[in-house]
């Protein structure tokens, strides 16, 4: 049964959606001011250095915030960062009651928002019904703030018989245009997207964001190529000067100086190799986290997905299933590698969402840990 949320909390959650993909490394938060059974104002977190959601909503409400309620999707901050603590702004605005959807896991917080606000005479309540939605909105921030690594989503599209391409390697297109538009909407909201060099050599993708009639200028996330031995050609489509966005190629000491010198319009980073001679993915996630990348979407083929799975680095699966059958014993599947020997060794996931987009099915799952 669907849980009915307070209209102000619904408005705050909707406002937080406006901030997705524009706030890293800060969380995308929404806030709403409510008084006399009326929605007074809403606000969402601005890009780093700008005001947080609560401050935007309070500034918009002005004097009408005095004696009102404030609904917020994430616990207001109590510390100085690039901006003052949001709890200071809430107290100054004369808010009577604050309703919080989810707690902030930031380890820097010495005092939680509830104790700070209650000490100022403000009533504080938590909304457990809104908590799951709010935590999904901030899942990337939650991973990054506690581990300093990005939240890793793995996206792939397959047919009903579990194939990601025909036996000849043809994969355009498994899914329908509406599904592909959804993928571009995800690109607009993540900090980085990643493929292995095998996918680059096979498909020569741009990995840019292309959305029809978008309501805001699109965001081209950082492109990350995992290429342990330096096989990326200088002629790759995404490396051409006119292509928007930035590309990073993660390699190892095995990449030759000649290859490194041939690459333009990309940053080459050298990372440790694992025992198999491939890029150590944990080291790559550490590097990305140090550069304020809080969310990473893996769009590669079976080899790179198998590597993330084997390393236990998948936080979320975004699986498209197209109502098609292509067959072929040698046609590739989403997860390559040697696989497992026994079913009891299978990696287990739990469903979070199943949705029909055009003729295709979208299944979202999280690993059972």
Say how many C-beta atoms besides its own lie within 10 A of residue 369's C-beta. 7
For 317, phi then psi, to 5°, come to -110, 135
Per-residue model confidence (pLDDT) at position 58 = 98
Per-residue model confidence (pLDDT) at position 79 = 81
Per-residue model confidence (pLDDT) at position 2 = 63
CA dist., res. 279 & res. 110, Å (int): 38
Per-residue model confidence (pLDDT) at position 216 = 82
CA distances from 3 to 128, 130, 133, 137 (A): 10, 9, 11, 18
Per-residue model confidence (pLDDT) at position 80 = 76
Return the closest-CA partner of residue 271 out of 220, 305, 225, 205.
225
CA dist., res. 166 & res. 163, Å (int): 7
Task: Report long-range pairs for 19-22 (Cβ below 8 Å, ≥24 apart).
Answer: 19/44, 19/45, 19/46, 19/53, 20/137, 20/189, 21/188, 21/189, 21/190, 21/191, 21/219, 22/46, 22/47, 22/219
Cis link prior to 255 (omega < 30° from 0)? no
Owner of token pair 């908590």: 131
What angle in degrees, to the nearest 10, is found between the helix axes of 86-93 and 53-61?
20
Per-residue model confidence (pLDDT) at position 272 = 98
Active site residues: 54
Per-residue model confidence (pLDDT) at position 107 = 83
pLDDT at residue 111 tops 90: no
CA dist., res. 292 & res. 309, Å (int): 23
Per-residue model confidence (pLDDT) at position 212 = 81
Summarised one tens digit per residue, pLDDT across range 3-59 is 789 999 999 999 999 999 999 999 999 999 999 999 999 999 999 999 999 999 999
Which of the four pLDDT bands, split at 50, 70 and 90, describes residue 1? low
pTM: 0.93
CA dist., res. 325 & res. 331, Å (int): 11
Name the least confident of 27-31, 100-104, 166-170, 316-320.
166-170
What angle in degrees, to the nearest 10, is found between the helix axes of 7-19 and 53-61?
120
């Amino acid at each position: 049964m669907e849980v009915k949320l307070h209209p102000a909390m619904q408005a705050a959650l909707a406002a937080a959606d406006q901030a997705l993909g524009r706030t890293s490394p800060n969380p995308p938060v929404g806030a709403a001011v409510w008084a006399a059974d009326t929605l007074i104002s809403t606000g969402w977190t601005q890009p780093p250095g700008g005001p947080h959601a609560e401050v935007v909503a309070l500034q918009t409400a002005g004097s009408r915030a005095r004696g009102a309620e404030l609904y917020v999707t994430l616990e207001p901050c109590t510390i100085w960062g690039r901006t003052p603590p949001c709890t200071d702004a809430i107290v100054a605005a004369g808010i009577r009651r604050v309703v919080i959807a989810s707690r902030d896991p930031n380890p820097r917080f010495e005092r939680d928002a509830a104790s700070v606000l209650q000490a100022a005479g403000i009533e504080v309540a938590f909304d457990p019904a809104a908590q799951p939605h709010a935590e999904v909105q901030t899942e990337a921030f939650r991973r990054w703030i506690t581990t300093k690594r990005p939240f890793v989503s793995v996206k792939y599209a397959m047919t009903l018989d579990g194939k990601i391409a025909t036996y000849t390697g043809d994969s355009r297109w498994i899914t329908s245009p509406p599904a592909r538009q959804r993928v571009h909407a995800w690109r607009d909201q993540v900090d980085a997207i990643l493929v292995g060099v095998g996918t680059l050599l096979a498909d020569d993708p741009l990995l840019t964001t292309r959305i029809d009639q978008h309501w805001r200028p699109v965001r081209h996330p950082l492109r990350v190529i995992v290429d342990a031995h330096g096989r990326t050609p200088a002629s790759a489509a995404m490396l051409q000067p006119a292509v928007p966005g930035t590309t990073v190629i993660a390699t190892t000491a095995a990449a030759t100086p000649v290859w490194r010198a041939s690459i333009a319009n990309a940053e080459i980073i050298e990372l440790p190799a694992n025992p198999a001679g491939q890029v150590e993915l944990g080291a790559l996630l550490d590097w990305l986290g140090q550069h304020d990348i809080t969310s990473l979407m893996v769009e590669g083929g079976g080899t790179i997905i198998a590597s993330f799975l084997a390393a236990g680095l998948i936080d979320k699966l975004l699986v498209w299933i197209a109502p098609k059958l292509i067959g072929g014993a040698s046609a590739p599947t989403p997860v390559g590698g040697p696989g497992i020997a026994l079913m009891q060794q299978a990696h287990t996931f739990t469903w979070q969402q199943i949705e029909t987009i055009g003729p295709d099915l979208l299944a979202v799952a999280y690993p059972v840990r």
